[in-house]
Amino acid sequence: MSNELSTKTYNNFKNIVLNESPLIDVRAPIEFQKGAFINAVNLPLMSDDERHRVGTVYKKNGHEAAVALGHELVTGAVRAERINAWTHYMAHYPDAMLYCFRGGLRSELSQEWLSEALGRDVLRLEGGYKAFRQYLLEALEPSAQTSEPIMLGGHTGSGKTILLKRFKSFIDLEGIANHRGSSFGNHITPQPSQISFDNNLAYGLIQHREAGYRYMLLENEDRNVGRCFMPRPLVDHFNTGRLIILEESLETRTQITKLEYVREAQEEHMQALGLDDGMTSWANYIRGSINRL
C-alpha cells in the first residue's frame, strides 16, 4: 500500500454533520468520556493507563522515548485486538473516519494499521478532535444563526414539547440535554457531558441552518437544561425572538404531567431495571428530587 493512501485526511466538517457520518475516536476512554461527537464510537489506540505511562515518559524523556514506549505497549496481541475492533466496526460502517485529539500520531498510526488490515484507504479528520470541536463551537455563535427564533412558553404540563415536535424547524433543547427541564426532569440515562452537549447542540443548529428554515422554534428554557447550559450569547440571541405562550386547562396540564413525569418515567425505570427494581428506583428518584427542592 502506498504511503499516500495511509495519510489521507478529511476536513469537510459540514458534510460530517449533515450526513451524521460515523466516526472512530481513538483517544483514550477518559478523553472520550469528557466529550465526543454524535455517531462517534470510542475504540482507543491506548488504554487510560497506557496513555498515562506514555505521557509520563514524554514529560521526562521527550517525544522519541514516548513513541518508543507506545509501540512497546501496543504490540503483539494488544495491537491485534485494537485492529480487530476497528475492522469489526468498519465492516458495519465502511465510511467511518478516524480521529485523535489533534489529528497527529495516534490517528496516523491507527490509520496506517487499519488501512493495511483492510487493504484500502481509511480517512482521518484533519486537525482531529480539536479542529472539529472548534468548527462546532463557531456554530454556537449568534452570528452563525440565519433564522428568526420563536420561543414557546407556558406552564409545566401545557404540552409545549408535544406541540413543537410536530415541526421540523424545532430545536429540541431538552432532547439534546436528555432532560425534561424541571426539578423532576432527569431520565434514567445520564445527561451528556457539557462538551458533548455543546457538540450535539451545534449539530442541530448546523442542520437547521443548512435546511434553510425561516424560523427556529424553541421551547422557552432557562440557560440551564438540567446540568447542561447554553452559551450566554446564544441564549440572549434566542430571547430576541417572539415569545408565544401556550395555555391549557388545569385538567389537561394534570394529564400531561402525569403522563410525562409518572407513567413515562416509570416505564423508563422498569425497562432498564425490571418491574420491582424499576419502581423502587423511580420512587427513590422522586423522593430525592423532592428533598432537593
pTM score, whole prediction = 0.88
Portion of the chain with pLDDT greater than 90, in percent: 71
Q: In the structure, what pLDDT confidence band is assigned to residue 18 with cuts at 50, 70 and 90?
A: very high
In this prediction, residue 264 carries a pLDDT of 79
pLDDT one-digit tens code per residue, 157-190? 889 999 999 999 999 999 999 988 766 677 888 8
Residue 113 reports pLDDT greater than 80: yes
C-alpha–C-alpha distance, residues 33 and 229, integer Å: 18
Listed in sequence order, the residues at least 6 apart from 56 whose beta carbon sits closer than 8 Å to its beta carbon are none
Residues of the chain with CATH 3.40.250.10: 5-136
Of 237, 230, 223, 221, nearest in space to 142 by CA: 237
pLDDT one-digit tens code per residue, 195-225? 999 999 999 999 999 999 999 999 998 889 9
Half-sphere exposure (CA, 13 Å, Cβ side) for 204?
19
140-292, what's its fold?
A: Rossmann fold (3.40.50)
In this prediction, residue 291 carries a pLDDT of 65
Listed in sequence order, the residues at least 6 apart from 80 whose beta carbon sits closer than 8 Å to its beta carbon are none
Cα-based torsion angle of the residue sequence 250, 256, 257, 262 in order, rounded to the nearest 10 degrees: 140
228 has catalytic annotation? no
- Burial class (CB within 10 angstroms; exposed 0-12, middle 13-18, buried 19+) of 219: buried
Answer yes or no: are the C-beta atoms of 37 and 23 closer than 8 Å: yes
Number of helices and strands (H, E) in the chain?
14, 10
Residues of the chain with CATH 3.40.50: 140-292
pLDDT one-digit tens code per residue, 187-199? 888 899 999 999 9
Catalytic residue among 17, 100, 125, 139: 100
Give the homologous superfamily in CATH for domain 5-136: Rhodanese-like domain (3.40.250.10)
Go through the chain and tell me how many residues it has.
Answer: 293
